[in-house]
A and B are shown apart, each in its own frame.
Chain A
Amino acid sequence: MGFNSHSITTDYTRQICRFVKELRYEDIPPAVIERAKMNIMQTVGVSLCGAELRQIQDAIAIAKELSPGAEAVATLWADGRKVSWEAAAFLAGTMGDLLDWEDCSVTGHPSAGVITTAIVAGEALDKSGKEVLTAIVAGYEVYQRIALAGDTNIVSLNIFGNLTVLMKLLNMDEEQMNQTLGLGTACSIIPCNIHEVTMSDSLNYLYGYKNLNAVTMVKTALAGVQGMEDALDDPTAFLEHLAYQEPRWITKELGETWYMMSMILIKHWPANVFVQTYTELAVRLVTKYKFNPDDVEEILVRPSVEFRHWFSETGYQSVTQAQFSIPYGTACAMYHPEPGAVWYKPETMTDPKIIALMLKVKADGFVEFGNLNVIKDMIDGKHPEKFMIVRMKNGEEYVESAFTHPGHPNYMLTRDEFKERFRLETKNILSPEKTEEAIDRICRLDQFDDVSALVACLY
C-alpha cells in the first residue's frame, strides 16, 4: 500500500480487483453467457439504429476529428472508417444510449458502456469472443455493485463498468486494476442529472466521453501512474461525495450471484424506462384493433407516472424530452407501431397528428412512489398493473393492460425475439445479409478468435 493521509480500514477495492482477475469464462454459467450475447445483440442493434439521427452523424464527425492520423486499430460503427481506439470508443458510447433503447438497470444504463467498450476494445486488442464475453460479465457485475453503493449521475457509474471491461481484456494485474479504479473515482462526474432537469440530449455525448476517458485511463495506469489505490475504501475519495453511501453493496454476493440476470431490464421500445409499458400497450392496441389513430377521441392511462406525463403543444426538439414523455410515446407508437429512429426524427417529433393525439392522452391517477428506488421497485416487479383505455370518436372503447413489457427480467425476451428486434433496429443501416451475419456471429461469439469478425458486420 502506498502513501495515504487517511487510514484505510476496508478492502473493497482489492476484493473487486481479485474478482475481476480470477473470473474465468469456464466459471460463468451458460445462461449468463447467453444473456451477455443477447445484450450485445440488443446494444449493438440500437446503437446502429441511432445512426439515422443527426446527433450520431455529428458524433461520427467528432470521432474523425479525434483521430486524424493514419494509424487505425478500430472501426467507427455504421460508418466503417478505421480510426484510433479512443475515437471508436467515443462514437460507440455515444451511440449506445441515443435511442434510450438498450437497457435499464436499477441504477442506469450499463450496456451503453460495458458492451460498446468491450466490442471496440476487443477489436483494438484482437481479443477472442470468449475473452470479450468474460470481460462483459465482469463489467456488469462490478458496475452494478458500485452503482448500488452510492447514487450519482446516471452516466457517472458507467466508468466503472467500462474500466472493468478494459482491465480484464488487458489482463492487468490486481495492483494495476486497483490504480485504474482509483483513476475512475477521480474522474467520476458529480451527482447531477442536468439532461433530465433541462431535458437535453447532451446526455448521449456523456456516454461517449466515459468510453473515451476509460481508454485513456487504462493507458495512464499501464504507463505506470501510482498512488490511486484503494479509492473505494478511502473515506473521502468517492462514496462520500455521492447521494448516499452503502459500501456493503460493493462486494455483496460477488462471484456468487449474477446481478446482470436480475437487475437489468432490456428495453422493448426506444423510450425512457417509465414509458416502456405504456408504449407496449399502445402498440398492442393499435395492432390488435386496427383502428385509425386519427379517429381516437381520448386515451386514458391508469395509473400514469407523474414525472413522465408531460405534453407539448408544439412537439419536441430534444430527443430526450420526447423519450421521456408517456403521451408522446403513446401517440408515436400508435402512428408508428414499428419502432425505430423514425420516432425521433425532427419531422416526427413535430408531426401535427402525433401532437394532436399526444394531447388526448390523459392520466387517471399516478403510480405512488414511496422512496427514491422507483426503478429498483419496477425491476423488482413491484409496480402496479397499467391500463390503457382508448375511446374512439364513434364511441367504441378498447382496453389493454400489462404489468410490464417483454425484456423485464421476469419476462425476458427469447433469443428469437432478440433476433427479430435486431433485424428491426438495423434494417435501415445494414444490408439483410450483414444483419444475418451479425446475428450469427453474436450467437457464436465464443467460437471466434477475434471479435473483429463481428465488427466487420457493423457498417
Chain B
Amino acid sequence: MRYNRFHRETNFLTPTRYTQALSEYAVNLRFEEIPAEAVEQAKALVLHTMGAVFAAKDTSESEKILKMAMEANGGEGGPVTLWTTGQKAGALNAALAMAAMADELAWEGYSWTGPAPAAAVPCAWLAAEERDKSGKDLLRAVVAGCEVYQRIAMAVQPDAKRWEKGWGVTSWQIFAAILPIAVLYGFDARRVDQAIGMGCESSTLPTRYHLTTMSDFGHYEYGYRARDGFMVAKAVDKGIRNCRDALDESRCYRGIICGNDAANGDGDVIVSGDESAPTWFTRELGKRYFLTEMVLRRWPGALWTQAPAEAAARIVQEHAVCPEEIDEITVSPVTEGFTHAPEEGYGSMLQAQTSIPFVVASALRGLDPGAAWYSEEGRKDALTTTLAKKVKALETMTEFDAYAAFREGTFPAVTVSVKLRNDERREASASLTAGTAAPMEDAARQFRTQTAGVLSPEKAEEIIEAVLRLEDCASVAALSDRLFVKAKPEA
C-alpha cells in the first residue's frame, strides 16, 4: 500500500507522486507510440553494448567475472545465455557478467549521467530471454529504462561543490537495471513503484572511489548493480509490502544523495540548496526521449577521450603520420583530471581509459581499437607511453562544466594538433557526438570494429542483422539460442 509515516497530515500519503508517475509511464509506454528515432537509437544501443561486451570477450578481467558468475550459478544451467560463451545461466548471474563486461573497455553508450546502457541493455535482453518476450517488448523496455533512469539521475546531480565529494555514476545505475526488468516482468505501476523504492534503498553511496584511485573495480560495479537490479525485481515479483513513493520523500533518496546530513530516516534531512531537482523526475516525460541524446562511444575510453581520439584518428587517416616523427601533441580543450601520463605506463585499465594522452597516443599510432589497448602490454607499451607524455593541454574545462556542456549540446569541438620533428603541423578537430546522426548505421559500423578479431565477419553480420530487425523478433529466447548457443560465437 502507499504509506509514508512522515505524512500524517495527508493520510500518510506523500503530497507528490513522482514515483507513481514514472511507474505509470514505464507500464503504459506502448511500442507503437515510441518515435521512430527512439526505436532506432534503442536498437543502436543494444547492438553497440553487445559489441562492447564482445570486445571484452577474451580479457583476463572477463575471464574472472565469468568465472565468478558461473560459480554463483552452481555451474552451467539456466534460462538465459551468456553472449560471449554460449553457456546457459540464471539471469541474475548472467547480468553480473554481461554488465561488468559491457563497461570493461569503456566502450558502451554514454549519457549525461553515465553509461546507462551498461546495465540497461544486458538486463533488458536477459529479462526478455528469461521471460520469452518479443523484440518489441525488449526495445520498449530499453526505452522505458533509459528514460526513467535519466530522469532519476538528473534529479540528484551534485552541484559544482559537491562534485568534489563524489558523483554517483555507478550508484544510480541501479535504476537502469531495474526498470527494463520491471517492464519485461509485466509489473503493474504499483510494483514498478515498489521496485523503484527498493532501488532507492539499494542505492550505493555516490562516491566513485574507483576514480579517486583508478581502480578497475569500477567496471565490476556495473555488474553488481545489474545483479542487484534483478534481485530487486525478483523480490518485487514475489510480492513485498509498501516501499512506495520513495522518490517523493526527501529522506528516502534525493535528500540523502544530495543532502548534507542524513538522520537515519528518523529526523530531518538537510537538502543542499537547489541540488535536488525533483522536477527532473517527470520532465518532458513521453515527449522528449533522452536516450536519443546518448553518445555511442566510437573509441574504447572515457567520454572525454572521445573527441580527442576521433580528431587524432582523422590526422592519421588524412596525413599518415609516423608516430616516431611526432615532437609534440596539443589538445584543446581537455577535461581536467583526464590528462595523466605516468612515466611507468598505466597501472590499471581505468587509468588508461581516463587518460586523454593515452587514448590520443593509441589513436595516433593507428592501433586497432579494442582490448589490446588496455592489456598489461598495451598500458605499458613504451611508444604509447612516450607519445602520451608529449600530449599538452592548451585550454581546460572542469569535468562539471564538461558535463553541463554535453547536456546543453554546447560541448566544443576538440582540436588535436601534432607538431612533427620537421616543424610541420597536422591538425584535426572532432565533436563529442561525432557519428551519431544515423545511430543504427553508426552502431553497425562500430560493432564490426568492436568485434573484429573476436567474432567471424559472418557472425558479426548475423548479429547486426538480427538487431536491425529486432522489432520483428517474436522470441528473444529463440533468437538468443540461434545467435549465441547453436553456433557459439567464435572468431
Q: Which of the segments B90-98, B291-299, B396-404 contacts the partner chain?
A: B90-98
Cβ A199 vs Cβ B74 within 8 A: no
Cβ A84 vs Cβ B73 within 8 A: yes
Name the B residues within 8 Å of A190 (CB-CB).
171, 200-201, 203-206, 253, 256-257, 262
Shortest Cβ distance from B242 into chain A, in angstroms? 4
Cβ A62 vs Cβ B235 within 8 A: yes
Interface status of B332 (Cβ within 8 A of chain A): no
Chain A residue nearest to B265 (CB atoms) is A193
Q: Which of the segments A26-34, A230-238, A407-415 contacts the partner chain?
A: A230-238
Cβ A213 vs Cβ B224 within 8 A: yes
* Contacts A62-B238, A197-B251, A198-B242; A307 near B74 (Cβ below 8 A): no
Name the A residues within 8 Å of B25 (CB-CB).
none
Interface status of B151 (Cβ within 8 A of chain A): no
Interface status of A206 (Cβ within 8 A of chain B): yes
Mask: chain B, 46-80; 1 = CB below 8 Å from A; 0 = not = 00000000000000000010011011111111110
Cβ B217 vs Cβ A317 within 8 A: no
Bound-state CA distance A3–B232 (Å) is 35
Cβ B71 vs Cβ A193 within 8 A: no
Name the A residues within 8 Å of B216 (CB-CB).
225-227
Q: B262's contact among A212, A224, A243, by CB below 8 Å, is which?
A: A243
* Contacts A153-B201, A190-B205; A223 near B64 (Cβ below 8 A): yes
Mask: chain A, 184-222; 1 = CB below 8 Å from B; 0 = not = 011111111111111111100110110011011001100
Bound-state CA distance A206–B199 (Å) is 11
Cβ A67 vs Cβ B72 within 8 A: yes
Cβ A5 vs Cβ B74 within 8 A: no
Bound-state CA distance A212–B235 (Å) is 14
Interface status of B433 (Cβ within 8 A of chain A): no
Cβ A216 vs Cβ B262 within 8 A: no
Cβ A227 vs Cβ B72 within 8 A: no
Q: A198's contact among B3, B263, B266, by CB below 8 Å, is which?
A: B3
Cβ A192 vs Cβ B262 within 8 A: yes
* Contacts A206-B202, A228-B217, A320-B241; A216 near B77 (Cβ below 8 A): no
Interface status of A279 (Cβ within 8 A of chain B): no
Name the B residues within 8 Å of A372 (CB-CB).
263-264, 266-267
Interface status of A393 (Cβ within 8 A of chain B): no
Name the A residues within 8 Å of B171 (CB-CB).
190
Bound-state CA distance A208–B92 (Å) is 14
Shortest Cβ distance from B489 into chain A, in angstroms? 21
Taking CB atoms and an 8 Å cut-off, the chain B residues in 175-219 that contact chain A are 194, 197-198, 200-207, 209-210, 212-217
* Contacts A5-B212, A220-B68, A243-B262; A189 near B76 (Cβ below 8 A): no
Interface status of A68 (Cβ within 8 A of chain B): yes
Bound-state CA distance A451–B452 (Å) is 50
* Contacts A70-B77, A206-B201, A227-B348; A236 near B164 (Cβ below 8 A): yes
Cβ A216 vs Cβ B251 within 8 A: no
* Contacts A223-B64, A243-B262, A372-B264; A317 near B205 (Cβ below 8 A): no
Cβ A72 vs Cβ B205 within 8 A: no
Mask: chain B, 1-42; 1 = CB below 8 Å from A; 0 = not = 101111000000000000000000000000000000000000
Mask: chain A, 335-379; 1 = CB below 8 Å from B; 0 = not = 000000000000000000000000000000000000010000000
Chain A residue nearest to B88 (CB atoms) is A68
Name the B residues within 8 Å of A220 (CB-CB).
64, 68, 217, 220
* Contacts A152-B264, A209-B228; A189 near B202 (Cβ below 8 A): yes
Q: B264's contact among A72, A193, A226, by CB below 8 Å, is which?
A: A193
Name the B residues within 8 Å of A449 (CB-CB).
none
Interface status of A183 (Cβ within 8 A of chain B): yes
Interface residues in B, total, Cβ within 8 A:
84
Bound-state CA distance A193–B67 (Å) is 34
With a 10 A CB-CB cut-off, give which of A2, A198, A231 has the most chain B CB atoms. A198
Interface status of B244 (Cβ within 8 A of chain A): yes
Interface status of B148 (Cβ within 8 A of chain A): no
Name the B residues within 8 Å of A310 (CB-CB).
5
Cβ A68 vs Cβ B164 within 8 A: no
* Contacts A189-B202, A195-B201; A71 near B264 (Cβ below 8 A): no
Interface residues in A, total, Cβ within 8 A:
83
Name the A residues within 8 Å of B3 (CB-CB).
198-199, 321
Bound-state CA distance A307–B265 (Å) is 12
Bound-state CA distance A8–B73 (Å) is 39
Bound-state CA distance A197–B266 (Å) is 8
With a 10 A CB-CB cut-off, give which of B164, B171, B201, B337 has the most chain A CB atoms. B201
Cβ B347 vs Cβ A2 within 8 A: yes
Interface status of A151 (Cβ within 8 A of chain B): yes
Interface status of A11 (Cβ within 8 A of chain B): no
Name the A residues within 8 Å of B241 (CB-CB).
199-202, 317-321
Name the A residues within 8 Å of B201 (CB-CB).
153, 189-190, 192-195, 202, 206
* Contacts A66-B72, A69-B75, A241-B166; A187 near B239 (Cβ below 8 A): no
Name the A residues within 8 Å of B467 (CB-CB).
none
Cβ A197 vs Cβ B265 within 8 A: yes
Interface status of A397 (Cβ within 8 A of chain B): no
Bound-state CA distance A220–B166 (Å) is 23
Cβ A69 vs Cβ B76 within 8 A: yes
Cβ A71 vs Cβ B74 within 8 A: yes
Q: B221's contact among A69, A86, A186, by CB below 8 Å, is which?
A: A186
Q: A186's contact among B209, B232, B235, by CB below 8 Å, is which?
A: B209
Name the B residues within 8 Å of A55 (CB-CB).
238, 240
Taking CB atoms and an 8 Å cut-off, the chain B residues in 136-178 that contact chain A are 164-166, 170-171
Q: A6's contact among B93, B212, B256, B265, by CB below 8 Å, is which?
A: B212
* Contacts A200-B241, A216-B224, A238-B205; A68 near B74 (Cβ below 8 A): yes
Interface status of A4 (Cβ within 8 A of chain B): yes
Shortest Cβ distance from B85 into chain A, in angstroms? 14
Bound-state CA distance A196–B249 (Å) is 12
Bound-state CA distance A226–B351 (Å) is 12
Interface status of B124 (Cβ within 8 A of chain A): no
Interface status of B44 (Cβ within 8 A of chain A): no
Cβ B228 vs Cβ A228 within 8 A: no
Chain B residue nearest to A240 (CB atoms) is B165
Bound-state CA distance A231–B194 (Å) is 32
Taking CB atoms and an 8 Å cut-off, the chain B residues in 224-280 that contact chain A are 224, 227-228, 231-232, 234-235, 238-246, 249, 251-253, 256-257, 261-267
Mask: chain A, 168-189; 1 = CB below 8 Å from B; 0 = not = 0000000000000011011111
Name the B residues within 8 Å of A200 (CB-CB).
194, 197, 240-243
Name the B residues within 8 Å of A62 (CB-CB).
231, 234-235, 238
Interface status of B454 (Cβ within 8 A of chain A): no
Name the B residues within 8 Å of A209 (CB-CB).
202, 228, 231
Chain A residue nearest to B7 (CB atoms) is A197
Name the B residues within 8 Å of A100 (CB-CB).
none
Cβ A198 vs Cβ B202 within 8 A: no
Bound-state CA distance A237–B73 (Å) is 31
* Contacts A84-B72, A227-B214; A198 near B246 (Cβ below 8 A): yes
Interface status of A246 (Cβ within 8 A of chain B): no
Cβ A238 vs Cβ B207 within 8 A: yes
Taking CB atoms and an 8 Å cut-off, the chain A residues in 302-323 that contact chain B are 307, 310, 317-321
Q: A205's contact among B70, B76, B217, B231, by CB below 8 Å, is which?
A: B231
Bound-state CA distance A191–B200 (Å) is 10
Q: A197's contact among B93, B198, B252, by CB below 8 Å, is which?
A: B252
Chain B residue nearest to A225 (CB atoms) is B217
Interface status of B89 (Cβ within 8 A of chain A): yes
Q: A65-B234, A205-B198 are in contact. List 14 more A-B contacts (CB 8 A).
A: A58-B239, A68-B74, A85-B72, A90-B231, A152-B264, A194-B243, A197-B252, A197-B265, A198-B5, A198-B197, A213-B224, A216-B224, A228-B210, A318-B241
Q: List 16 A-B contacts (CB under 8 A).
A: A3-B214, A68-B90, A69-B78, A85-B72, A86-B72, A90-B231, A186-B207, A190-B256, A192-B262, A196-B266, A197-B251, A213-B228, A225-B215, A225-B216, A236-B164, A238-B205
